[in-house]
Structure 1
Amino acid sequence: MTSEDVVKRKGGGVWGVIARYVRVTDAISDYVGYLAASLVFFMGAALIFDAITRNLIKMPVHWAVELTQFLLAAYYFMGGPFTLRNGEHVRMDLWYATLSERGKAKIDLATIGCLIFYLGVMLAGSISSLQYAIATNEKRFSIWNPSVIPIKALLTVCLVLMLMQSFSLVFKHIATLRGEKL
């Protein structure tokens, strides 16, 4: 049963809103994940540019490696919601793989509370860190001296999206226990 079937059968209502929330959150996570995957090309280009300018032209650019570090951090942050959405995170499959779909949903519901708590704590810390960075115009101590505000803002946004995706998973697991599919 698709999310549209749930909406039609329930006549909209709460499950209709939940189905739309899940659909929108999953779409955003997919988009952000594919955008993150494209960052690999920019990282490669920056490192190749650095190698050429350093070794062939003998005129090194000091920002290329640091830019690659920022892009790698963005890659990790943006990949989190996509990984959650597609169930590609690491888990111990010793006995989990032998469970039925309902059994897996019960275990996932029991453990996702820990994830939501962890992400909430991380979000509170990232908001505090972003506020400090904005208040002090925080910069990296390097030759390039870039602002860290954009990467801290991206971390905060991605943590919000991971929380949204976590709640989407909660709704999907509840639907599985009800014998429905979102």
Structure 2
Amino acid sequence: MQSLVRRFIHGVDAVNHRMGRVVMYGIFVLMAILLWSSISKTFFLPSLWTLEMAQFVMVGYYILGGPYSMQMGDHVRMDLLYGGWSDRKKAWVDLFTVLLLVFYLGVMLYGAISSTAYSLGYWKTEPLSYLLGVVTGSEEIGRLEQSSSAWRPYMWPVKVVMVVGLFLMLLQCLSEFCKDVLRLRGHKI
């Protein structure tokens, strides 16, 4: 059982580490979009797509980089208290707070899946079965949701990024939970 848990931890950590290392270069994409926005507003006609595209890139950067940040321990903590605790006390507190985070991420993931199904043209009450049907080919995609801006991009790509990012964050939380359990049992990770 312990080897299965360790393989799960290493697999999730490897995926999120690679994803985080790739996504961290998204800041340069964001900078390029905002630079083009500034240049086009100054010297040419303003581009309609730049600010909304910058928002989409920022969503991807933030959502897909979150699991990497959690893995590296770079997320915000109350270090005034947490920093002085023993490793065992930290593991107990993390064990409890990760369970709360898993619940929160589960609710967020369900909402993101529902929103993604809506953006693909599904207006009924079972988004999970609809998306599985889209993947298997038994369901058709309806009228695709577009932004209400003048540029009017499709919304489904950024919503798919949200679903993937929240799923990876949920997996990373479960990995951290397993690490805390192993620490409390006295095992090295």
TM-score (normalizing by structure 2): 0.85
Residue 36 of structure 1 deviates from its aligned partner by 1.9
Q: 1:89 aligns with which of 48, 63, 75?
A: 75
Q: 1:80 is aligned with what amino acid?
A: G
Q: Does residue 129 in structure 1 map to residue 115 in structure 2?
A: yes
Match of 2:65 in 1: 79
Output one character per residue of 1:99-143: Cα deviation in whole Å (capped at 9) or x when no partner. Answer: 111111011111111000000000111111111111141111112
Q: 1:101 is aligned with what amino acid?
A: D
Q: 1:35 aligns with which of 13, 22, 33?
A: 22
Residue 37 of structure 1 deviates from its aligned partner by 1.2
- State the alpha-carbon separation in 1 of the partners of residues 58 and 49 from structure 2: 14
Q: 1:174 aligns with which of 174, 181, 185?
A: 181
Q: Does residue 24 in structure 1 map to residue 11 in structure 2?
A: yes
Please give the residue correspondences for 1:1-182 in structure 2 after superposition, counting only pairs within 5 Å: 14-56=1-43, 58-135=44-121, 136-182=143-189
Q: 1:142 is aligned with what amino acid?
A: S
Question: CA distance change for structure 1 residues 95 and 48 in 2, over 3 Å: closer, same or farther?
Answer: closer
Output one character per residue of 1:53-83: Cα deviation in whole Å (capped at 9) or x when no partner. Answer: 2212x22211112111110111111111111
Output one character per residue of 1:31-70: Cα deviation in whole Å (capped at 9) or x when no partner. Answer: 12122211111111111112222212x2221111211111
Instruction: Please list every run of 5 or more consecutive structure 2 residues that lacks an aligned counterpart in the other structure.
Output: 122-142
SS at match of 1:138: coil
Residue 93 of structure 1 deviates from its aligned partner by 2.1
- State the alpha-carbon separation in 1 of the partners of residues 117 and 56 from structure 2: 19
Instruction: Please list every run of 5 or more consecutive structure 1 residues that lacks an aligned counterpart in the other structure.
Output: 1-13
TM-score (normalizing by structure 1): 0.88
Residue 95 of structure 1 deviates from its aligned partner by 2.4
Cα RMSD of the aligned pairs, angstroms, is 1.2
Most deviating of 171-180 and 83-92:
83-92
Give 4+ residue runs of structure 1 displaced > 4 Å after superposition.
none
Question: CA distance change for structure 1 residues 54 and 94 in 2, over 3 Å: closer, same or farther?
Answer: closer
- State the alpha-carbon separation in 1 of the partners of residues 159 and 85 from structure 2: 39
Identity %: 38
- State the alpha-carbon separation in 1 of the partners of residues 102 and 79 from structure 2: 21
